[in-house]
């Protein structure tokens, strides 16, 4: 029988596990912890127990031959013949992992007229590229792709299979995982090979990033994971072996989903979706300095956000306002100039990944949330940053 | 004096000349002290030079209490540490904090039990450990603007929707430490020092005795934040709550927490006509238990919100209201058991169906996610009106929102609402009304389109102040008097009683330097 | 049209904190609610029902107390609920959960449309939708931002892709996962809440569903959580010093690193 086991000899009845449980699944009976029917086996209590009295036991039920599975495979995602950058990031990660498993890194490249891209895959870490070129692979349709992937798992038995956590990756990976009945870990941020077991340790954020969970898939193959774009680093390095292998078309039924129209568009224009934001507050001094901020945002490929006082005085439009009464933003990079950090404003930027703040007041509240604190004159620093970036642009153009 | 602490009023600090009332003032210098010592230094310096001091928190006030007229701005937003915790024999928990502590942050800390206790004394740390094991607690005063500071809330005796059940900030203040205008300090603790009839004696921490007579007026029998709190044999601490920064500078506050009810449900009830809504409120008030707040929004407020929703991305996720609906009553049920809450809900449905409404036209929030949506909705109403006024202010700087904050005793609710409506229609003014109808306390907001409207609005305001006083009400129920409402305080109490207030002030602040213009004009004594 | 909406019970907040005495993780938000992303799927189902008629069944796998969220679903307009609850379902990862849910859908039978939220706020995996569709051998479409046309046999909808938008047509039965842009979920009325108290909520267990023991719960879950921890946060900010030239140089290099 599988389930949560509390060793009543080891349990001292301290009650810590009861506090750690979010499901009210543990209770105290006769000074010993006991589990009730609310338990979802989340495992939170196991970590909490100072006496190692709690464990989850699991029957082994799977009869597959793990040794038959080998190599690390990476699903290469293409959109309109262009390879998604995350695929290169995964290849480089796979190359790193393959050293410890002593295996090959295989890139699976599906698409129409796509073989010209194979060279790049070798450059980022693939040893072999498995390729299938058919017109039906042009649009990323799950119904068709799952048949190809099924064939790959069946014929080649990958030990590890990695996907980018793009919209399509997050749609096709679970589909194939369910087809071949294996485990899949979503949105991993850390992948490493466990020294002892040789398993793929997959670490991912849960509860909106408030908790990290390390996950393994011990008895099923392939070990599958999706990885969010930008988390791993793409590293260029030539490999000696450059083998290209063709995969035949599996049998495919007429798909029930038809694409009526494909609209390619740039990412949404609003600041709430922007990846890079340069924001500015009252500390910018004069309205004319706003042009500098706009220029910097342009150079960085970002958007301009403003704090409420600028909207109040009519220097900026409401639609650019960040904060409780404006937009809530979650950019990768936020550079703030002359924003003191009123609480309403801070509420709007709590999702930003990296915050660089420039302000004259060394005690400004914005510094309590900033990753990088710069005390200084906003306008001077702005001007200097712009001139440096502009010079760099010119140089690149000349080259 | 140390120039690193006192700054000249440069353009950088221009935002400190205004508050949420949209009034803009003037000042020559500003400081952001981080501890009591710095405050004492600054105050002594100002005292010797006879420079007036305006005390500020988060500048979210609506009565311009934090807007300086001249002199020095003492901004307490950096004085924002939470200092310790204590528990009494009845298991009540108390938190000592500095006045710059922001309400929303304080609430969050209580909820998550995440306090930075590194600098706390051993006793406080021990109490904190127990606190973490207890059922969830909360600080009940809940002004809509949660970015207010606790110091500001004490200074205007702030309330909020839930004060219908729990009462205003005053009830939850146990202890205050103040710096007086000459730099001396004073500690007042609930239950320690009472007036003898209308005579009060205070002793500063330095050992100085201050004795004075309290004013002779009687406070209205309705929700009140107008002028000094006085009554026979009163507790000394109550004098300093709601004093609008005129008596001293608050440097430390001890607040009392309550146990959070197990069940908090919100219900928005929509009505196709306003008189049905008012009848509903009266029925709820006399027959329904477990109600923590009763809030009201009129059709104009809903329309303005709808308009702002179209142009402001921040409001995009607000739920749509049926066009037919003319007013909304928001109720909050606080109780210990879900069973009881369901019985309450059924009763509310019946009362609603009996008062020309339909219980189908309701929104129920039974968990935090839904409740946050309803609370966001409630908060969005004043915000959207402010945005509308800001647009108009850009064209005409004289225009500001004229928002009332008056309360009356229970029996006069319908009468005043009728009066407000009639006067607004008669003067052809634009308005939006919302507020704490359970406490007979509505914020009628006149939204002037031009100078003529503005003047008409001011006249109405004065007329209403007189009428509300006649009915035994208060001219300010929760925002405080500040500078904008001092003339209505005079309407309410008359110059003689105002003079009595000034007498108290001159005992504690002999050079009349603290927050000049708040509550009264000190230059205009009747003698 | 018969529509199944998959809903999950989740804690109302994602906050975690450390117990100051024991240094163990405590999760706050013991109030349980319908996963916010699922409320958009539920709202869309109710809108479809209002437009072309049909039946909406809320389906959940969870502990017995999860019956409450199925009543919540009924309070806003679902016709009934089905709760899959059994101790042997505990410890299920997405694969085992999807298998179990597929048994529920089969029990409901003759389902034309299954709607799921984009993902659950506590797990963030976004895997249940596609895995459930695979178990049922029906097609799925993820990231649906708008249903443009719908009748009993066909649906035209808009989806968000990596490069833009796509207009697709699909036959039923089909499973869609919806984005929050799709609608604005309603709150229940008092009448809705009161009626939901007596609404039919079927409770099924492993036996009544005819579940294969090796595909459910912990036994049917290929993945295992080895450990959980609170990530370290960079709470100290790094100060960049120097004259304006040096500062701007350093800021630019930090920016380069980040983007």
CB-closest option in C13, C28, C191 to B360 = C191
Q: What is the distance between the alpha carbons of residues A219 and A60, in angstroms, rounded to a whole number? A: 8
Contact B181, B51 (CB under 8 A): no
Same topology between domain B262-392 and domain B396-477: yes
Where are the domains positioned within chain B?
6-75, 82-259, 262-392, 396-477
CB-closest option in A16, A39, A47 to C227 = A47
**What pLDDT is recorded for position B341?**
95
Our CA angle for B306, B308, B310, nearest 5°, is 75
Please tell me the distance in Å from B168's CA to the nearest CA on chain C: 28
pLDDT of C215-250, one tens digit each?
999 889 999 888 888 776 555 678 888 888 888 888
Q: Please list every residue in chain B whose beta carbon sits closer than 8 Å to the beta carbon of residue C8.
A: none
Q: Would you call B117 an interface residue with chain A, using a CB distance cutoff of 8 Å?
A: no
Q: What is the distance between the alpha carbons of residues B40 and B2, in angstroms, rounded to a whole number? A: 12
Q: What is the distance between the alpha carbons of residues A303 and A317, in angstroms, rounded to a whole number? A: 13
Query: How many CA atoms are closer than 13 Å to the CA of B10, on its beta-carbon side?
Result: 12
Is the Cβ pair B105, A314 closer than 8 Å?
no
pLDDT at B527 over 50: no
Determine the topology of domain B6-75 in CATH: 3.30.43
**What pLDDT is recorded for position B319?**
83
Q: What is the distance between the alpha carbons of residues B289 and A156, in angstroms, rounded to a whole number? A: 70
Q: How confident is the model at residue B526 (pLDDT cuts 50, 70, 90)?
A: very low
Contacts of A150 by beta carbon, 8 Å cutoff, 6+ apart: A176, A179, A180, A250
Determine if the peptide bond prior to A222 is cis (ω within 30°): yes
Q: How confident is the model at residue B2 (pLDDT cuts 50, 70, 90)?
A: low
C189, C194, C235: which to substitute to probe chain B, counting the most B Cβ within 10 Å?
C189
CB-closest option in A309, A343, A363 to B78 = A363
Q: What is the distance between the alpha carbons of residues B83 and B97, in angstroms, rounded to a whole number? A: 5
Contact B194, B233 (CB under 8 A): yes
**What pLDDT is recorded for position C233?**
55
Pick the CATH number of C2-225 from 3.20.130.10, 3.40.50.720, 3.40.50.620, 3.40.50.980: 3.40.50.620
pLDDT at B248 over 90: yes
Interface of B with C (CB under 8 A): 111-114, 117, 128-129, 132, 267-268, 317, 319-320, 342, 345-346, 348-349, 352, 359-370, 373-374
Is the Cβ pair A213, C24 closer than 8 Å?
no
Ranges assigned E (strand) in chain C: 2-6, 9-11, 16-18, 25-27, 32-34, 55-61, 80-84, 113-117, 140-150, 154-160, 164-171, 174-178, 201-204, 224-229, 238-239
Please tell me the distance in Å from B106's CA to the nearest CA on chain C: 16
Where are the domains positioned within chain C?
2-225
pLDDT at B226 over 70: yes
Q: Which residue has the higher pLDDT, A141 or A23?
A: A141
Q: Please list every residue in chain B whose beta carbon sits closer than 8 Å to the beta carbon of residue C192.
A: 364
Please tell me the distance in Å from B134's CA to the nearest CA on chain C: 13
Q: What is the distance between the alpha carbons of residues C13 and B368, in angstroms, rounded to a whole number? A: 9
β-bridge mates for residue A193, sequence order: A200
CB-closest option in C28, C187, C194 to B345 = C194
Tokens of C36: 């916010």
Determine if the peptide bond prior to C173 is cis (ω within 30°): yes
Contact C113, C129 (CB under 8 A): no
Which subunits sit against B, judged by 3+ Cβ pairs under 8 A? A, C
Residue A251 is classified by DSSP as: P
pLDDT of C139-165, one tens digit each?
999 999 999 999 999 999 999 988 889
pLDDT of B385-425, one tens digit each?
888 888 888 788 888 888 899 999 999 999 999 999 999 99
pLDDT of A41-89, one tens digit each?
777 788 788 888 988 876 665 667 888 999 999 999 999 889 999 999 9
Number of H helices, E strands in chain A: 10, 22
pLDDT at B11 over 80: no
Three-state secondary structure along C136-178?
Answer: HCCCEEEEEEEEEEECCCEEEEEEECCCEEEEEEEECCEEEEE
pLDDT of C26-56, one tens digit each?
555 567 889 989 999 999 999 999 999 999 9
- Alpha-carbon distances, residue B165 vs B140, B183, B343 (angstroms): 9, 39, 19
- Helix residue ranges per DSSP H, A157-251: 169-180
Give the pLDDT mean for B337-364.
Answer: 95
**What pLDDT is recorded for position B379?**
83
Sheet with A200-206: list strands edge to edge.
A190-193, A200-206, A211-216, C224-229
Q: Would you call B383 an interface residue with chain A, using a CB distance cutoff of 8 Å?
A: yes
**What pLDDT is recorded for position C232?**
66
pLDDT of B304-320, one tens digit each?
999 888 877 667 778 88
For residue B292, which phi and psi values (nearest 5 degrees)? -95, -30
Which domains, and CATH codes, for chain A?
A: 3-57 (3.30.70.20), 68-246 (3.40.50.620), 271-393 (3.40.50.1220)
Tokens of B515: 């927050």
Dihedral angle computed from the Cα positions of residues B430, B436, B440 and B444, in that order, rounded to the nearest 10 degrees: -10
Is the Cβ pair C17, B366 closer than 8 Å?
no
Q: How confident is the model at residue C21 (pLDDT cuts 50, 70, 90)?
A: low
**What pLDDT is recorded for position A399?**
45
Is the Cβ pair B319, C186 closer than 8 Å?
yes
Share of chain B above pLDDT 90, in %: 80
> Counting one residue from A and one from C, how many pairs have CB atoms under 8 Å apart?
301
Give the pLDDT mean for A284-298.
Answer: 85
N-terminal to C-terminal alpha carbon distance within chain B: 38
Tokens of B382: 């004043």
Contacts of B526 by beta carbon, 8 Å cutoff, 6+ apart: B495, B496, B499
Contacts of B276 by beta carbon, 8 Å cutoff, 6+ apart: B355, B356, B357
**What pLDDT is recorded for position C226?**
84
Is the pTM higher than 0.80? The answer reads yes
Phi-psi region of B440 (alpha: psi -120 to 50; beta: other; left: phi over 0): left
Is the Cβ pair C94, A22 closer than 8 Å?
no
- Alpha-carbon distances, residue B126 vs B93, B115, B140, C20, C249 (angstroms): 12, 13, 24, 11, 48
Our CA angle for B314, B320, B326, nearest 5°, is 120
**Nearest residue in chain B measured CA to CA from A19:** B133
Q: Please list every residue in chain B whose beta carbon sits closer than 8 Å to the beta carbon of residue A324.
A: 147, 314
CB-closest option in C22, C168, C248 to A259 = C168
Among A352-361, B240-249, B285-294, which stretch is predicted with the lowest mean pLDDT?
A: A352-361
Determine the topology of domain B396-477 in CATH: Alpha-Beta Plaits (3.30.70)
CB-closest option in C166, C218, C223 to A259 = C166
Is the Cβ pair B313, A270 closer than 8 Å?
yes
Contact A244, A129 (CB under 8 A): yes
Pick the CATH number of B262-392 from 3.30.160.20, 3.30.70.2190, 3.20.20.10, 3.40.50.300: 3.30.70.2190
Contact A338, A376 (CB under 8 A): no
Dihedral angle computed from the Cα positions of residues A261, A265, A268 and A274, in that order, rounded to the nearest 10 degrees: 140
Q: How confident is the model at residue C24 (pLDDT cuts 50, 70, 90)?
A: low
Please tell me the distance in Å from C84's CA to the nearest CA on chain B: 23
Is the Cβ pair C190, B369 closer than 8 Å?
no
Domain B82-259: assigned CATH number: 3.30.465.10
Place of tokens 């500003």: B30
């Amino acid at each position: 029988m599988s389930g949560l086991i509390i060793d009543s000899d080891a349990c001292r009845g301290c009650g810590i596990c009861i506090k750690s449980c979010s499901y009210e699944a543990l209770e105290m009976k006769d000074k010993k912890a006991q589990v009730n029917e609310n338990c979802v086996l989340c495992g939170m209590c196991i970590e909490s127990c100072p006496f190692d009295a709690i464990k989850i036991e699991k029957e082994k039920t799977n009869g597959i031959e793990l040794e038959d599975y080998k190599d690390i495979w990476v699903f290469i995602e293409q959109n309109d013949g262009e390879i998604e950058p995350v695929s290169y990031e995964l290849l480089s990660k796979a190359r790193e992992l393959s050293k410890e498993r002593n295996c090959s890194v295989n890139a699976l490249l599906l698409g129409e007229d796509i073989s010209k891209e194979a060279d790049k895959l070798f450059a980022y870490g693939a040893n072999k590229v498995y390729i299938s070129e058919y017109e039906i692979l042009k649009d990323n349709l799950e119904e068709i792709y799952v048949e190809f992937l099924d064939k790959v798992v069946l014929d080649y038995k990958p030990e590890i299979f990695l996907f980018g956590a793009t919209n399509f990756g997050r749609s096709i990976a679970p589909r194939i995982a369910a087809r071949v009945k294996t485990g899949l870990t979503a949105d991993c941020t850390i992948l490493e090979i466990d020294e002892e077991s040789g398993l793929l340790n997959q670490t991912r954020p849960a509860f909106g990033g408030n908790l990290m969970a390390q996950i393994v898939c011990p008895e099923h193959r392939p070990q599958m994971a999706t990885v969010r774009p930008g988390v791993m680093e793409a590293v260029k390095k030539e490999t000696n072996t450059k083998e290209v292998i063709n995969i035949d078309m599996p049998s495919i039924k007429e798909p029930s989903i038809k694409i009526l129209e494909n609209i390619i568009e740039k990412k949404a224009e609003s600041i709430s979706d922007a990846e890079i934001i340069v924001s500015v507050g009252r500390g910018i001094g004069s309205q004319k300095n706003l042009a500098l901020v706009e220029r910097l945002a342009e150079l960085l490929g970002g958007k301009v956000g403003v704090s409420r006082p600028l909207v109040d005085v009519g220097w900026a439009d409401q639609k650019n306002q960040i904060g409780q009464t404006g937009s809530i933003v979650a950019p990768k990079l936020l550079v703030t100039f002359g924003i003191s950090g009123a609480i309403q404003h801070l509420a709007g930027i709590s999702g930003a990944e990296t915050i660089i703040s420039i302000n004259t007041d060394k005690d400004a509240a914005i510094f309590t949330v900033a990753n990088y604190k710069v005390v200084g004159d906003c306008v001077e620093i702005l001007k200097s940053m712009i001139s440096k970036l502009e010079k760099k642009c010119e140089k690149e153009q000349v080259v | 004096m140390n120039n690193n602490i006192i700054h000249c009023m440069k353009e950088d600090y221009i935002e400190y000349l205004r508050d949420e009332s949209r009034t803009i003032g003037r000042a020559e210098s500003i400081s952001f002290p981080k501890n009591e010592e710095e405050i004492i230094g600054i105050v002594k310096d100002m005292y010797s030079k006879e420079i007036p001091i305006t005390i500020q928190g988060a500048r979210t006030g609506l009565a311009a209490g934090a807007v300086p007229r001249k002199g020095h701005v003492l901004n307490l937003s950096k004085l924002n540490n939470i200092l310790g915790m204590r528990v009494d024999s009845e298991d009540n928990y108390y938190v000592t904090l500095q006045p710059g502590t922001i309400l929303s942050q304080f609430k969050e800390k209580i909820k998550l039990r995440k306090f930075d206790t590194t600098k706390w004394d051993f006793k406080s740390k021990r109490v904190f450990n127990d606190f973490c094991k207890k059922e969830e607690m909360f600080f009940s005063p809940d002004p809509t603007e949660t970015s207010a500071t606790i110091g500001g809330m004490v200074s205007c005796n702030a309330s909020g929707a839930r004060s219908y059940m729990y009462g205003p900030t005053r009830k939850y203040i146990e202890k205050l430490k103040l710096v007086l205008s000459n730099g001396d300090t004073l500690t007042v603790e609930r239950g320690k020092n009472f007036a003898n009839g209308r005579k009060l004696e205070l002793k500063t921490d330095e050992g100085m005795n201050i004795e004075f007579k309290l004013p002779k007026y009687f406070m209205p029998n309705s929700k009140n934040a107008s002028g000094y709190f006085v009554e026979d044999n009163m507790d000394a601490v109550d004098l300093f709550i709601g004093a609008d920064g005129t008596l001293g500078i608050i440097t430390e506050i001890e607040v009392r927490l309550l146990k959070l009810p197990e069940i908090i449900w919100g219900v928005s009830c929509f009505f196709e006509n306003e008189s049905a809504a008012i009848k509903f409120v009266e029925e709820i008030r006399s027959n329904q238990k477990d109600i923590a707040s009763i809030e009201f929004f009129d059709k104009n407020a809903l329309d303005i919100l709808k308009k702002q929703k179209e142009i402001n991305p921040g409001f995009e996720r607000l739920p749509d209201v049926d066009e037919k609906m003319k007013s909304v009553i928001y109720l909050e049920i606080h109780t210990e058991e879900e069973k009881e809450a369901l019985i309450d809900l059924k009763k509310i449905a019946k009362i609603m169906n009996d008062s020309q409404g339909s219980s189908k036209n309701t929104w129920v929030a039974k968990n935090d996610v839904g409740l946050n949506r309803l609370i966001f909705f409630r908060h969005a109403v004043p915000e959207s009106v402010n945005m509308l006024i800001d647009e108009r202010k850009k064209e005409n700087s004289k225009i500001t929102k004229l928002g009332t904050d008056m309360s009356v005793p229970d029996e006069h609710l319908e009468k005043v609402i009728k009066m407000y409506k009639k006067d607004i229609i008669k003067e052809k003014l634009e308005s939006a009304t919302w507020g704490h109808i359970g406490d007979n306390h509505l914020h009628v907001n006149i939204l002037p389109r031009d100078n003529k409207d503005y003047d008409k609005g001011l006249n109405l305001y004065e007329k209403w102040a007189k009428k509300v006083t006649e009915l035994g009400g208060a001219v300010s129920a929760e925002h405080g008097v500040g500078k904008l409402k001092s003339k209505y305080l005079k309407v309410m109490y008359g110059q003689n009683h105002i003079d009595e207030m000034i007498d108290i002030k001159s005992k504690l602040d002999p050079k009349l330097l603290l927050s000049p213009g708040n509550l009264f004009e000190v230059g205009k004594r009747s003698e | 049209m018969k529509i199944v909406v998959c809903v999950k019970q989740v804690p109302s907040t994602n906050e975690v904190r450390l117990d100051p005495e024991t240094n163990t993780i405590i999760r706050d938000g013991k109030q349980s609610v319908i996963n916010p992303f699922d409320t958009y799927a539920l709202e869309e189902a109710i809108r479809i029902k209002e437009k072309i008629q049909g039946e909406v069944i809320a389906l959940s796998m969870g502990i017995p107390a999860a019956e409450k969220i199925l009543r919540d679903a009924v309070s806003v307009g679902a016709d009934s609920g089905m709760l899959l609850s059994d101790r042997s379902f505990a410890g299920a990862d997405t694969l085992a959960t999807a298998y179990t849910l597929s048994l529920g859908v089969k029990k409901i039978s003759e389902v034309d449309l299954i709607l799921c939220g984009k993902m659950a706020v506590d797990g963030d995996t976004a895997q249940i939708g596609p895995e459930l569709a695979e178990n049922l051998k029906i097609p799925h479409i993820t990231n649906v931002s708008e249903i443009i046309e719908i009748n009993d046999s066909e649906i035209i909808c808009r989806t968000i892709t990596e490069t833009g938008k796509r207009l697709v047509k699909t036959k039923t039965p089909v499973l869609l996962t919806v984005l929050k842009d799709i609608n604005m979920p309603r709150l229940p009325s008092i009448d809705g809440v009161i009626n939901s108290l007596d609404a039919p909520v079927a409770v099924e267990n492993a036996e009544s569903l005819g579940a294969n023991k090796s595909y459910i719960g912990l036994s049917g879950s290929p993945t295992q959580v080895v450990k959980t921890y609170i990530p370290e946060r960079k709470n100290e900010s790094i100060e960049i010093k120097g004259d304006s030239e040096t500062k701007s140089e350093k800021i630019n290099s930090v920016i380069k690193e980040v983007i």
